[in-house]
Chains A and B, each alone.
Chain A
Amino acid sequence: MNVRMLVNGAPVEIDVPGMRRLLDVLREDLGLTGTKEGCGEGECGACSVILDGQVVDACLVPVSQADGSTVRTVEGLAPTPGGGAGDRRLDELQQAFLETGGAQCGICTPGMLMAARAYLDAGGGPDEAAIREAIAGNLCRCTGYTKIVEAIARAAAGGAA
């Protein structure tokens, strides 16, 4: 089917089977490999993207459901996505992850960032319990979540901490 989406602000029109996973469309058809696959069954959250303001597991979304939608991936977080060498820019959430040590192996990081971004965009604050709830669908095996929670709290507090 013909699917139209707004992906990271860019209009996309693509002819794919309607049941193709949004994850595969992003990674293979659009080359946006920042979104990861960890389990393929909606348990790990590594493929989290923001679909019309909601965090979803892209491995569970048939692309037909995303037709006419706005999709935001990790590549769409920074003001100048994929900026050239020496001019890479991070938004305040990414910067907070970098400074607090919220990313280790990095494979859960894009999904974690998207869950955190949706939380912040919905007005979420630096409250630890609320942050933990917001990222409860995103598994991380490296960090024990401590520094991820710190990073999101720091970003929620305006990066001033």
Chain B
Amino acid sequence: MTIRTEPRRVARPLAPGREVTDALVVAPSQTTAGRARGVAPLRREGPEKLTGEAKYADDLVFPGAWYGATIRSTEAHARLLALDRDDGFDWSAVVLVTAADIPGDNVVSLISDDQPVLVPVGGEIQHHAEPLALLAAADRATLRAASHAIRPRTERLVPVFDPLASEHVFAHYEIGAGDVERGFAEAELVLEGTYRVGHQEQLYIENNAMIAVPRDDGGVTVHGSLQCPYYVHKALKRSLRLSDAQARVVQAETGGGFGGKEEYPSILAIHAALLARRCGRRVRMIYDRHEDIAATTKRHPAVVTHRTGIRRDGTLVAQDIDVVMDGGAYCTLTPVVLSRGALHAGGPYRCPNVRIRARATRTNTPPNGAFRGFGAPQTQFAAETHLNRVAETLDLSPLEIRRRNVYRPGDQTPTGQRLRESVAGEEVLERAAEAAEFERLRERTRRARVARGAAGPGATPLATAHDRTATGIGLALAWHGAGFTGSGEVKLASVVSLELTPAGAIRILTASTEMGQGTKTIFPQLVADALGVPYEAVEIAPQDTAFVPDSGPTVASRTAMVVGGLLLQAAARLRGRVEEATGGAFAETYPAWAAVNGPVRIDQRFEPYPGVHFDDETYRGDAYPAYGWAACVATVEVDLDTGEVSVLDVVAADDVGRVIHPVLAEGQVEGGTLQAVGYATIEEMKLEDGRYLNDRLATYLIPTALDAPRITSILVEAPFSGAPHGAKGVGELPMDVGAPAVVAAIHDAVGVWIHDLPATPERILAALGVTARPEEPGREGTAPAVRAATDAADTAREVREPIRAGTDPRPEARTDPLPLRGPQPEGEPDWPSEDDR
């Protein structure tokens, strides 16, 4: 595929498998023909992955390597008094590392220095499964025996599990525009609601894994499964007191990350390195699934409360939004997750009066961290579900209310950012709705619902004589800031390099990792296109800190946009230099020129996008250089006896700025959509005393091929002029819209709103009044007595926190529309009325 480097001004859809055309949809039944395009290059590392030759961390053989293990806490909050060793065990066969053995700082940190590498004796254990000590042995059996021969002695402390009650605040933000109180005074209707989401596990199929190899210079080389080589590099240097050269980080083939390998590999690398140093041998630390789920980061649980003022015609006039995220026991990336969540909390809608207050607090649960979407899926689930309830109250179509409020070019966001270009919310909305035949199918499901509702007095949507299932269709729309938030990219100042060797090899050097999304394919594709050479002529160097510069972490959907953009700039410089010298086309002249003048290395450093400014102190300005836009229409079937949901079909329209590789871009949309479907329907961590109860793959379920809907992806291109190729990134977009679309479809099927994710059969049956209400997501399973005390605490807290006044988050509180003025809207919904709890 040709990469156009001249951004077009008007968004035009690019249909999968076709030329640019208005015929957008590939029929979902077309599974055999026409979906794969021969034009784009094939995945660069694909053959190795398909033959089993690709080497993931656990596949790497290091003769003589010992095995490492972690001794973890079994309490959520305690003081570590001692590590008692069984005298009967032969300790000469193993090495033990405690906090006292850490040569550098006992800290692993991205933002705040609060998390220890190992809890020291005398220190506080802050969460279940926290690392206390490390062991290594020559064989697994000895290692296992040693693990059982060491017992932490602790003194239990009172844990905090409720993020609403926690007084330790990691971060808080207030974002505002206009005058919210005046907005509510002008509103004809005010609607309130509280929405809750729980933890979600990234569940990459390859567990976290790291192997440390001692170096002759006293340093250490680690080989591991990771997203961000330079995060690991920095962490190793600090805790082991190493120089830049003494710490070397090599990415092994990585079996999925999704944010889960953004930060956690740093502590794992330190652990492996400490053991390797101590025993003077190579040490393998390969987590099994149980340890990986029990100990590593999850998506942040959140409680989001909306109070929205609307005019009768559906125009938003006021949004008052309160976001509380549960950070877990340590700060990790929580402030930036919260920031992104808060900045996206209003959804992609124009509103003159907005107040968004967000805080993240500490609880004695394992730390939460990055997961695809990074705070935005949580807040946009709430925003979209709430907007659908607004539409229902006004008897407006979900499509129509979005048409009336979606951002258009020239609109201003709550941070005062003027959306000048690359604004495609309307486009993706219309494309998805049209392709899914949203209004037509919605009318059909409405009729079916009315027919079921007419079954007679006392009939519930479930109590019907004939139907065993009900079908529903739902819509959601979202925006997603491209790249780092605020001034993040400016601070990162990423560097990429492009090399031309005397032998004529063109080599890309970046720290951007391949974890399935296609980095190793699109980078050579972009550079080859910019240089006018074949794809095969461009090599990509391994992600090894000994060779590649720090091009920043592989996160935030920034790789294609930011790092890809830098490579295009570097390629343009290289091409210019050669062509200036030779007077001929680069492709024709570079081999001979390089033989005489090589090697040449072009370093390209990130420069701020022109006209993009953000003030981190005031939270005013351009929160992101550009936004991607996503719409999703989901069709579900709800079993009327059991409340089980099958998601049958999803149509996703995503504006990615510019499609670089259609197959890979579709792959991102499809994969992200299914993760969102899992988030919406089945994925839930249960906690007891701060411990994840379902910390195995047998109990934490993700969708199988049979659970997966047919997914149709429509790629829309509204280029961003700040990037030379116009790309904005794709990875996180689909994660924002899937869950609210599914929940809207469930409502369309059975007439109840599910406020808490996931929408399990238990929650659906409870909403229908059939069974008792289950636990809130992300919270402790608590005994009735404790629950009563918690409720009392909730009430007390409301007095202290004015924002919660009138938005009682307790289960029994109604959050029905509160008409402030004017008559009730005419044309009541014609499906059975329900208590929306």
Residues of A that sit less than 8 Å from B by CB: 27, 31-41, 43-44, 46, 73-75, 77-78, 81-82, 88, 90, 94, 97-101, 103-110, 113, 126, 128, 131-133, 135-150, 153-154, 157, 161
Contact = CB atoms under 8 A, between A and B. Distances in A.
Given A38-B289, A105-B204, A136-B705, A98 B255 contact: no
Contacts of B706: 132-133, 136
B425 to A, nearest CB: 23
Give the interface centre of A109, A133, A154 by most chain B CB atoms within 10 Å: A109
Contact of A140 (B42, B48, B205, B673): B205
A46 B256 CA distance: 13
Contacts of B663: 100-101, 147
Contacts of B672: 144
A103 B704 contact: no
Given A81-B51, A139-B205, 14 more contacts: A44-B205, A75-B51, A78-B51, A101-B663, A105-B254, A105-B255, A106-B48, A106-B54, A109-B50, A132-B706, A139-B704, A141-B204, A145-B670, A154-B32
B515 interface: yes
Top-4 shortest CB links A-B: A34-B52, A107-B255, A105-B516, A106-B49
Given A38-B289, A101-B663, A145-B708, A150 B670 contact: no
A106 B705 contact: no
Interface of A is mostly: loop
A145 B697 contact: no
A73 B51 CA distance: 10
B122 interface: no
Interface of B: 29, 31-36, 38, 42-43, 45-56, 58-59, 61, 202-207, 253-258, 288-289, 515-518, 663-664, 666-667, 670-675, 696-698, 702, 704-706, 708, 710-711
A141 B675 contact: yes
Contacts of A142: 256, 516, 667, 671
B255 A36 contact: yes
Nearest to A78: B51
Contacts of A46: 205
Nearest to A93: B50
Contact of A153 (B32, B43, B516, B708): B32
Contacts of B207: 38
B32 A104 contact: no
A126 B32 contact: yes
Contacts of B33: 161
A15 B782 CA distance: 52
A46 to B, nearest CB: 6
A147 B670 contact: yes
B32 A157 contact: yes
A153 to B, nearest CB: 5
Contacts of B705: 131-133, 135-136, 138, 140, 145, 148-149
B47 A88 contact: yes
Contacts of B42: 98-99
Contact of A141 (B253, B258, B667): B258
B514 to A, nearest CB: 8
B27 to A, nearest CB: 12
Given A101-B43, A154-B32, A107 B256 contact: yes
B35 A107 contact: no
10 contacts: A78-B51, A88-B51, A98-B46, A103-B46, A105-B254, A109-B49, A139-B702, A147-B670, A150-B35, A161-B34
A33 B52 contact: yes
Contact of B52 (A32, A128, A141): A32
A130 B223 CA distance: 40
B819 to A, nearest CB: 42
Nearest to A99: B36
Contact of A39 (B49, B673, B697): B697
Nearest to B254: A105
Contact of B50 (A113, A133, A147): A113
A100 to B, nearest CB: 4
B711 A144 contact: yes
Contacts of A131: 705
A82 B206 CA distance: 22
A78 B671 CA distance: 27
Contacts of B38: 99
A101 B667 contact: yes
B39 to A, nearest CB: 12
A36 B671 contact: no
Nearest to B696: A41
A112 B31 CA distance: 17
B667 A74 contact: no
B10 to A, nearest CB: 28
Contacts of B31: 126, 128, 149-150, 153
A4 to B, nearest CB: 23
A144 B674 contact: yes
A157 B667 CA distance: 22
B231 to A, nearest CB: 19
A144 B51 contact: no
Contacts of A34: 51-53
Nearest to A112: B705
Contacts of A135: 705
Contact of A38 (B202, B205, B518): B205
